[in-house]
Structure 1
Amino acid sequence: MREGVEVRLRPGDRERLEGVVSDRKSPQHHVWRARIVLLTADGAGTMAIRAATGKGKPTVWRWQARYMRDGADGLFRDAPRGRAFAAASPEQVAAVVQRTLHDDPPAATHWTLRSMAKASGLAPSTIHRIWHEHGLKPHRVETFKLSNDPKFVEKVRDIVGLYINPPEHALVLSVDEKSQIQALDRTQPGLPMKRGRGATMTHNYKRHGTTTLFAALDVKAGTVISQCMLRHRAAEFIRFLRLIDKQTPADLDLHLILDNYAAHKTEAVKRWLARHLRFHVHFTPTSASWINAVKGLFATLTKRRLKRGVFRSVIELNQAIRDYLDAHNADPKPFRWTAPADTIIAKHHRGKRLLESLH
């Protein structure tokens, strides 16, 4: 027994400590603390207590002293832990926010945790907390493009109106081409996913040609009319218009939402549309093709079927696209536009004003 240590159990403490030890639901750190005190009270020496509890000398001595000072309650009351980092002063926080928003780091485009920590004299964890609390993400950048179309408001109201309140006895079709889809074959086989590791694929590949997907999304039904072709000129676009004409009921008007790609506006296309009066074309504002609903279909196709696909020929690629769209048409979901035209227009005007204020 260490000199100066004399543990005498207080009334009721033995039953309490033995109850903690025998209770299977007791936290383990409470169990070994209680055992240290019980063994000490029974006359066990430090070496015996270490062997019984698996704890070192400093730990045994610390909890012997804690019981002698605070009793059984002291064994089960942990002192509050210190902060993992030194708290930054309000002035330091304001300086970090100001520098993040308005200054660039030396020879770099944006701040990192370490570069800001070095510049401010704070810990990286403190910088992370400040950025999180103020919603700052200097490592991220979002792209945008404001339309300069003088008829932006008119076109947005027209297209959003077609989505939200389509005309009777008509179909609203969102039409576009996804060009230059590459048939890529990986140079080595990938490894399948397993527990604890995702699937793998080589970063290099072999090219086996390209295809262009023409697609017309029926906004109300959610089904897609599609065709793959080698090129995407006006001639191919007219071929696709003929397919739409053939696969839709002849007694319905067709409202086509198109972007401003040059092949959609050639004289040959205009002559064809003039001969087919049930086709009504609605062009999206320039630099605003995001309003064309079929873009979402293309994004999903790329993510779910093309990005990780392996295609040894254009024929395989075309078949994979057809299989995906056949599965889509077997369980279609109507397209639902949720953003009111006024909201889009107001946001566009705010962006224009902001850009003008920067000049």
Structure 2
Amino acid sequence: MTGSQRRELNRLLRAGRTEQRLVLRATIVLWAADRCPSAAIARALRVSVETVRKWRGRWNAAPGVASLGDAKRSGRPPKFTPVQVTRVKAMACTPPKECGVPLARWSCPELARHAVTDGICASISQATIRRWLSQDALKPWQHQSWIFISDPNFAAKANRVLDLYARVWDGEPLGEHDYVISSDEKTSIQARCRCHPTLPPGRSRTMRVNHTYKRRGALAYLAAYDVHRANVFGRCEDTTGIVPFARLVEQVMTQAPYASAERVFWIVDNGSSHRGQAAIDRLAEQFPNAIMVHTPVHASWLNQVEIFFSIVQRKIVSPNDFTDTDEVAARLAAFETHYNRAAQPFKWKFTTADLADLLARLDRHERDHDRPDKTTAQARAA
């Protein structure tokens, strides 16, 4: 035994996480290297002489720590063939209705049941199905919604919004007296009066909110968010519409610094309160220094005020326990003051370059989907 081999074995003995079977084998080899008889080692370690001889022989055949590991074993022969595994995975990637099963999504028990019914195998457990699917990260019980880009001017409209976030308009940087406002409405905020008082959190107990409630009305919350100054201006209305939105615009545009600003850009979605060229003309007539900019259709995620609305939903609306809509309005007004004291602009990271990359990837995906390769077409024909 060399000095480095002895040091490596001693290191294994000192390590607190070494497996006990490896400690035993290393001890046998070290004592054997010190010329201890096999019978004496067996008595001291309370193992059989055959065990001592086995590990002395393993070490002599191939000196090194690797010789102390377990030998490779064939294990139990597989119960299922690779073809059966592949057929089950293919079935998981096929909609249930195409297999004649009245389900919207597969689950592991349903896959196991149908594998037997379809004659793939005589019997199989749902745990086996789950293990097979996890090898390829297949989760057919999950689903995700998506939507096509339907706005023909999506790229141009989205680029204008993203440029404003970067303080650019028509290729020119915004001036010191230019402002960008992101605005929208959060509709139908209900006042749900719980039938029993909400219990505060305590030791090993979360807040408890009674499930039953009485509806005490609903209101709409209109908000305008200054993108670069992180100021929020909001108001509550009975409903949304052209007139309530005009009141929000007046609330913002009649106060400093927007009243004397050179330009105030209003980013809005395509809701009925501010849709189309008519809304742009109304805003320009009401306030000549205001410019309305629409996001693309089905792209409200480009509107930063939606981030603020998500904060309102988490911190104010949920859990919903208000006696009436006046309490809702008062809470929202108080939160605006609280938020504006310490608010920082959102770290918006999605740029025009990211948009171009996204649209290019979508275009490649659409072309690949419309033109399947020859092998796939032949497989489908077969």
Do these two structures clear the TM 0.5 threshold for a shared fold by scoring above it?
A: yes
- Deviation of 1:214 after TM superposition, in Å, equals 0.9
Q: Contact 1:209/1:314 (CA < 8 Å) preserved in 2? A: yes
Who is 1:92 aligned against?
Answer: 84
Give the RMSD, CA atoms, in angstroms: 3.8
SS in 2 for 1:241: helix
User: Which of 126-135 and 326-335 deviates more?
Assistant: 126-135
Q: Contact 1:234/1:269 (CA < 8 Å) preserved in 2? A: no
Who is 1:253 aligned against?
Answer: 263
Q: Contact 1:85/1:126 (CA < 8 Å) preserved in 2? A: no
Relative to structure 1, the CA distance from residue 269 to residue 130 in structure 2 (aligned partners, 3 Å threshold; closer, same or farther) is: same
SS in 1 for 2:265: strand
Relative to structure 1, the CA distance from residue 107 to residue 207 in structure 2 (aligned partners, 3 Å threshold; closer, same or farther) is: same
Who is 2:322 aligned against?
Answer: 311
SS in 2 for 1:102: coil
Q: Which runs of structure 2 are paired with 1:289-300 in the superposition (5 Å)?
A: 289-300=300-311
- Deviation of 1:259 after TM superposition, in Å, equals 0.8
Deviation track 1:231-277 (CA, whole Å, cap 9, x = no partner) reads 21211111111011023411241111111112214858733422422
Relative to structure 1, the CA distance from residue 80 to residue 352 in structure 2 (aligned partners, 3 Å threshold; closer, same or farther) is: closer
Indicate which of 189, 193, 203 corresponds to 2:211: 203
Q: Contact 2:283/2:290 (CA < 8 Å) preserved in 1? A: no
Q: Which runs of structure 2 are paired with 1:205-220 in the superposition (5 Å)?
A: 205-220=213-228
Q: Tell me the distance in 1 between the aligned counterparts of 2:46 and 2:84.
A: 42
Q: Which runs of structure 2 are paired with 1:1-359 in the superposition (5 Å)?
A: 70=51, 89-104=81-96, 106-120=101-115, 121-166=123-168, 167-168=174-175, 169-194=177-202, 196-249=204-257, 250-265=260-275, 270-339=281-350, 340-349=354-363
Q: Contact 1:131/1:137 (CA < 8 Å) preserved in 2? A: yes
Relative to structure 1, the CA distance from residue 137 to residue 196 in structure 2 (aligned partners, 3 Å threshold; closer, same or farther) is: farther
SS in 2 for 1:240: helix
SS in 2 for 1:209: strand
Percent identity over paired residues: 25
Q: Contact 1:215/1:226 (CA < 8 Å) preserved in 2? A: yes
Q: Tell me the distance in 2 between the aligned counterparts of 1:230 and 1:84.
A: 70
Alignment gaps of 5+ in structure 2: 1-12, 22-44, 56-68, 116-122, 169-173, 373-382
Alignment gaps of 5+ in structure 1: 1-19, 31-63
Q: Tell me the distance in 1 between the aligned counterparts of 2:204 and 2:131.
A: 30
Who is 2:375 aligned against?
Answer: none
- Deviation of 1:318 after TM superposition, in Å, equals 1.0
* Partner amino acid, structure 2, of 1:238: A
* Partner amino acid, structure 1, of 2:113: K
Q: Tell me the distance in 1 between the aligned counterparts of 2:83 and 2:295.
A: 49
Q: Tell me the distance in 1 between the aligned counterparts of 2:216 and 2:77.
A: 55
Q: Contact 1:186/1:202 (CA < 8 Å) preserved in 2? A: yes
Runs of 4+ in 1 over 4 A off after TM superposition: 64-69, 77-89, 194-197, 266-269, 350-358
* Partner amino acid, structure 2, of 1:288: A
* Partner amino acid, structure 2, of 1:109: A
Who is 1:60 aligned against?
Answer: none
Deviation track 1:95-144 (CA, whole Å, cap 9, x = no partner) reads 22211112416221111121123333433223223322322222222222
Q: Tell me the distance in 2 between the aligned counterparts of 1:237 and 1:192.
A: 37
User: Which of 173-182 and 83-92 deviates more?
Assistant: 83-92
* Partner amino acid, structure 2, of 1:234: I
SS in 1 for 2:233: strand
Point out which structure has higher relative CO (alpha carbons under 8 A, 6+ apart). Answer: 1
- Deviation of 1:88 after TM superposition, in Å, equals 5.4
- Deviation of 1:333 after TM superposition, in Å, equals 2.0
Q: Contact 2:280/2:291 (CA < 8 Å) preserved in 1? A: no
Q: Tell me the distance in 1 between the aligned counterparts of 2:363 and 2:77.
A: 44
Q: Tell me the distance in 1 between the aligned counterparts of 2:73 and 2:198.
A: 48
